Amino acid sequence: MLLPALVQAASVKNVRMWLAPDHARLVFDLSGPVTHKLFTLQGPDRLVLDIPRSQLKTQLSRVSLAKSPISAMRSAKKGSTLRIVLDLKESIRPRSFELKPNDQYGHRLVVDLYRKSQKASPPVKSAAVNQQRNIIVSIDAGHGGDDPGALGPGRVREKDVVLAIARRLKTLLDKEPGFKGVMTRSGDYYISLRGRTRLARKKNADMFVSIHADAFKNPRAKGASVWVLSPRGASSEMGRWLARRENATDLIGGVGSVSLDDKNKVLKSVLLDMSMTASRADSRDVGSNIHRNIARFAKMHKKHVEQAGFVVLKSPDIPSILVETGFISNPDEARKLKTASYQRKMADAIFRGIKAHFYNKPPAHSWVAWKKRGGKGRSQVVLPVVASKPVAAGSSRYKVVSGDSLSRIASRHGMSVARLKAMNNLTSNTVRKGQWLTVASGSAKVRRPVSQPTSRYKVVRGDSLSRIASRHGMTLSQLKSMNKLRSNTVKVGQRLRVKARPAPPPVVRYKVVSGDSLSRIASRHGVSLSALKAANRLASNSIRIGQVLRIPAS
């Protein structure tokens, strides 16, 4: 007997998996639209996907399950329904949705498996070199996962090129004293546009840089460009077009309809107005630094920084820029963008632009601000009201070597493990080779004048209570109770009691990186070449990468 084909059957043609730190995304490529049902079963944990009137036209075993929460994937037929069962290694929170075709793919069914055990990644520790905080730069490699971004000749994909440049930028920032780079994505997976700015805020970023590469219908279009958020709409036709294209990636990635809907328009526009002005001025400043640097080796699309309504630039409190590194649709630029040397040049141009900006306008309490003052004093801190308890010994810095343990280091410096952990804000007992720790200096030759339990901080423009708290190593509730605050609002000029940061240690050490010279290190630390040589008993001017130098007090 022949069954009438009432409804077109669909088939699953292919299955792909993308691994993000907090979830795994399975994408089923389909021959046509489907409906589906998803449910979990326990003992053992399983996730079941039912797709009516469908059949499997691929092998599930082709998908690599390594590092995913899935231990096995199998399929069965229940009448005309295709059932796919995922055996799980851990319990997960599932989410699923169907996607319509776009330029890159046909009909798809997406299943996200969110890990429950995933601990929220802690904000980057601000306390760093000399207990003055690092400047945190959030580096955003555009696109990723199912969203390849722009495609160029020779199968060059924007998502790969921009991740490579982003990684090089992170390396440069991490090598630079006083700076730290944090990536929004560190692999080939997708993050929503709002998710990217949310991550930057979670890490207390001082600056957000999104890295992209263009494509245009006309393969002759070329040139790099630097963008900041426009006050109202886009300043050029190109900007409008680009913003539409970059913002549309959320739809390709699949979560656009959720993340882009704006439930709280009124509140948002009020907040934006309040702090946007300051952050836009900084964005333009750092943007033009970078524009100038890139113009030295690349053709620029415009003579100046351009403006458009990119979603990723809409953080009211974090200066944000977007760099289009070139046209991947232009064969000439695509070829260059693929090479390590060009990627390095691009990362270096962005890095130097950021560094120049922050040396010009260092945030309060940053290591760069402290360095600019010649390594003395503390910023914006009114001397303590309460001063007490002389401290027996000073402190110095110790670099963890292979074979060290926290307890050995503590006993060697005559300290308890608890004190050592407290001094370095450590939450676990693990240390890694090369890590710098603040330790009590046994000889107690250097005496710190007094311990300073609290000091005062004056609120500046752009501050929020939570940022002030984290910057002083306090929780929001500690800060509020210390100041008997009932709400989270603060006003510019208001003085708050905060935990005092310990004084910077008397001895500073510096690890030589590639490209350093003795005279550069000396000038960067405000000491003379001869003083630097004397402090390290150097006979010649040659140094090697990785060598640790004592920086004498200037």
Are 441 and 393 spatial neighbours (Cβ–Cβ below 8 Å)? yes
Give whichever of 24 and 156 is closer to Zn ion, judged by the CB atom.
Answer: 156
Query: Taking the complex as a whole, how short is the minimal distance between the CB of residue 527 and Zn ion, in angstroms?
Result: 44
Binding to Zn ion (CB under 5 A): which residues in 233-272? 246
Residues 132/369, Cβ–Cβ less than 8 Å = yes
Whichever of 196 and 355 has its CB closer to Zn ion, that residue is 196
CB of 322 to Zn ion, least distance (A): 9
CA 435 to chain centroid:
21
Specify the DSSP class assigned to residue 270: H
Q: Cβ closer to Zn ion: 247 or 478? A: 247
Among 69, 148, 149, 394, binds Zn ion (CB under 5 A): 149
Residue whose CB is less far from Zn ion, 140 or 516: 140
Distance CA 133, CA 128 (A): 5
d(CA 306, CA 304): 6
Give the count of residues interacting with Zn ion (CB under 5 A): 4
Toward Zn ion, which CB reaches closer, 248 or 426? 248
Residues 192-231 as x/- pattern, contact with Zn ion by CB under 5 A? --------------------x-------------------
CB of 258 vs Zn ion, minimal distance in Å: 20
CA 377 to centroid of chain Cα atoms: 30
Angle (nearest 5°) at CA 301 between 332 and 135:
100
CA distance 190 to 19: 9
Shortest Å distance, C-beta 344 to Zn ion: 20
Q: How big is the chain by its Cα radius of gyration, in Å?
A: 27
Rounded least distance, CB 245 to Zn ion, Å: 7
Separation CA 243–CA 229 (nearest Å): 10
For residues 112 and 250, which CB has a smaller minimum distance to Zn ion in the complex? Answer: 250
Closest separation in Å from C-beta 252 to Zn ion: 11
Q: Which stretch binds Zn ion (CB under 5 A): 6-14, 69-77, 140-148, 386-394?
A: 140-148
- Tell me if 32 sits within 8 A of 10, measured CB to CB: yes
Nearer to Zn ion, 149 or 504 (CB): 149
Contact with Zn ion (CB under 5 A) among 69, 142, 144, 505: 142
Looking at beta carbons only, is 168 or 212 nearer to Zn ion? 212
278 is written with which tokens? 């300051």
Binding mask 85-124 toward Zn ion (x if CB under 5 A, else -) reads ----------------------------------------
DSSP-derived letter for residue 62 is G
Binding region for Zn ion (CB under 5 A) out of 6-14, 36-44, 136-144, 477-485: 136-144
Q: Are 196 and 312 in contact (CB under 8 A)?
A: yes
Residue pair 47/38 in contact by the 8 Å Cβ criterion: yes
CB of 150 to Zn ion, least distance (A): 6
Structure tokens at 450: 């007094």
Is the separation of the CB atoms in 69 and 113 below 8 Å?
yes
Report the interface residues with Zn ion, using CB under 5 A: 142, 149, 212, 246
